[in-house]
Amino acid sequence: MKKLLFLTSTLFVFILFACEKELPKNDLNAFKNNTTTVDIYEPHHHETHDKKLAHFPTLEENLLPILREKLRPKDIARIRNSFVSSHFDQEKRSFVFLLETHYDYVFKLHIITNEEYQIENINVVKIDLFTERINQGFTLDEMISRVSFIQIDQYLSFKGGGSVDQIEECLELVFDNTNPSGPLNKPPQGTGGGTVINLPADECMILVTVCGCSPNHTGGSSNPNCTCTKPDKTMFINTCNETIAGGPSNKDLDYWECVSILLHACLLNEMDLLVRRLKNCSLDPNDIDPNGGGNVSQNPADKAFCTNWLSYQTECLPDFNTNEDYEDWASFYFNYPNLFESTIANSSDCMDEDEFECYAALIDFDIKHELNLTQQEGSIILEEVTTCGEGFEEEATSILFTMKCAQKASSEEAINLEENMIACFGDINCYDAQNSKFSITLYAEQPISNSRDNWSGNPLLNNIRVGHTYLELKSLHNYESNNLVFGFYPQWDASIRSGAIPMEIRDDGRKPYTVAVTIDLTCEEFQEAIAKSLEATQEDYNLKDYNCTSYGIEVANAVGLGVAYTKSPWIFGNTTFGVSVNPGDLGEDIKLLTEGEITLGGIAPRSNCQ
């Protein structure tokens, strides 16, 4: 009886420690500190604008309950994902998070903590945008560089119910939304002593001129949009780091480039932009870039977006019309961009409210816990939950946990061979390939160099090596050299008794080999090698039937390499587990070839065209 008791308890202990448990949250910080760079956790540096709230776990723990009382989950998620925007003060321990950006002011959350990062003071501050820009180090300077800017007033007039037919160019402007319909053709000079603007041929800077006071101030500015008496102010925005077609000194900024710059400079908020984008599809369905002049080819991405949106609107939102509708859908777009785009892409499957609720719950769950769920994981959760309202999170957590526990030890590194082939060799046309060169290399990494043994190591020590066979296709075409090194693998763990396992192709660049042979090919043979490489991926991986060596030989022999197809038995202990080709035999057979360039030992080059 006692033995049974001990046996049972011992078994219990084994089972208890059998799984490598995920670390409980209390231990997580210790884990992090041991395994990551120190600068991303409790601050060791003064600069914090590259850090997020999550990097200050104690503060986060104290702050979240407060935020949850005041804000919606998606707003909290956004704050958690936004960067701490100001300098961290080691003594005061003050933190600033950007809450909300409007076109003429921002809301910021100011927090002061004690040494333990417990909150001592917290408040929301409204800052006018100009002050905010100046605080961030923008230069007020009379040495003005060239002006390239969008007519932001026209853009913003949309918010007042106006329409935007065309933004003709990016030019100097007044940042003023009080009288959007007024003319704005040059930077203004306030009667209080505004700046005379000269425009040297400089680059990398754009200019925004703002009224010297709040727009509603009454006064005598000569600028009809700027009713104030103080000097106008000029703000510079450095565009050197912006992606601008034609380089940063290009005067003729594309409309969306301007918008992008405005966004980066916090002069627009994204909601404004999205409402505008949706509405503009109706105004100009073929080309929502007002600078594009109707040339759809310059803006294909926007055209595709509008096509989807208008089609979805017609099929699924027959009563869609009001500004409120636009704002609702822009909000959907803003908070769930991927879901929005996949939704409007399928106008034959209109999303109903319940479905939307489920998707929204899933996305909030994903953002809140920073899970980065895959599409497959998300689909499984949505299929299995019984509610998308209260209780969703608990159910989703449980499903996710089960899913992760059941996950097989599979590879995450597969490449799409067809896409890679197209990327590497898609532009080869054999009609103009007389001066081009093509080759195929078959690499064998033997488990024991210069031996036909098909495995090495000790099963009891779990260090068996079976070697590997892989291929390299290489082209020199139109003075461009491309190569792709790839091999055939099982998708997950394979034992000696495993049958067929789905295959996957992996990039084998920088992999060692013991023997390799390279033969030159004609263009037609090269195309045949590509076709065969793709065709042979229809096979499953089977260690004893169709393995990496079978694949390599099949492709190489299809274009005339002529290497022997030598098979050897898989013998472990006294048992034979089938017979198959293998890298050991292949390596020795390659040495017997009379054609081709044979190389002994080395490391394969990296693939250069993925």
Partner 1 sequence: MKYFLCFLLSAILCFIVVALLFFNKNNFVIIDHVNFQTKKKEFTFTVTAAKGRDVQMMERRFQDFKEENPEYKNLKLYRTTPINYLKIGKWVGYRANPAWTYPKLPFWKR
Binding site for partner 1 (CB under 8 A): 2-3, 6-7, 10-11, 14, 17-20, 22-23, 28, 31, 34-37, 369-372, 404, 409-413, 445, 455, 459-468, 487, 489-490, 492-497, 506, 508-512, 543, 548, 572-573, 575, 603, 606
Nearer to partner 1 by Cβ, of 32 and 146: the residue is: 32
CA nearest to 547, candidates 475, 451, 467: 467
Picking from 279, 280, 237, the residue whose alpha carbon sits closest to that of residue 258 is 237
> Minimum CB separation from partner 1 for residue 462, in Å?
3
CB atoms within 10 A of CB 62: 17
Minimum CB separation of residue 147 from partner 1 in Å reads 32
Q: Which residues pair with 438 in a beta bridge?
A: 475, 521
277 vs 468, which CB is nearer to partner 1? 468
Centre a 10 Å sphere on the Cβ of residue 173 and count the other Cβ atoms it contains: 25
User: Closest approach of Cβ 245 to partner 1, in Å?
Assistant: 23
CB of 189 to partner 1, least distance (A): 43
- Smallest gap, in angstroms, from Cβ of residue 572 to partner 1? 7
Sheet with strand 205-210: strands edge to edge: 174-175, 205-210, 233-238
Residue among 11 and 125 whose Cβ is closer to partner 1: 11
Which one, 51 or 468, has the nearer CB to partner 1?
468
Which residue's CB is nearer to partner 1, number 207 or number 466?
466
* Chain centre distance of CA 405: 26
Q: How far is the CB of 63 from partner 1 (least distance, A)?
A: 20
The sign of the CA dihedral 577, 579, 580, 583 is positive
Say which residues have a Cβ less than 8 Å from residue 415's Cβ, sequence separation at least 6: 486, 505, 506, 507, 610
d(CA 206, CA 377): 45
Rank residues 302 and 472 by Cβ distance to partner 1 and give the closer one: 472
- Give which of 483, 489, 487 is closest to 526, Cα–Cα: 483
User: What's the rounded Cα separation, in Å, for the pair 142 and 234?
Assistant: 8
Least separation in angstroms between CB 603 and partner 1: 8
Residue number with CB closer to partner 1 (178 or 491): 491
Here the tokens at position 54 are: 């999550």
Task: Tell me the chain's radius of gyration from C-alpha atoms.
Answer: 32
Residue 233 corresponds to which amino acid?
A: K
Q: How far is the CB of 142 from partner 1 (least distance, A)?
A: 36
Nearer to partner 1, 36 or 338 (CB): 36
Alpha helices in 345-476 (DSSP H): 353-368, 375-384, 392-406, 417-425
Report, in Å, the least distance between residue 498 CB and partner 1: 8
Geometric angle at alpha carbon 48, from 45 and 51, rounded to 5°: 115
The answer to whether 543 touches 496, Cβ cutoff 8 Å, is: yes
Nearer Cβ to partner 1 (196/460): 460
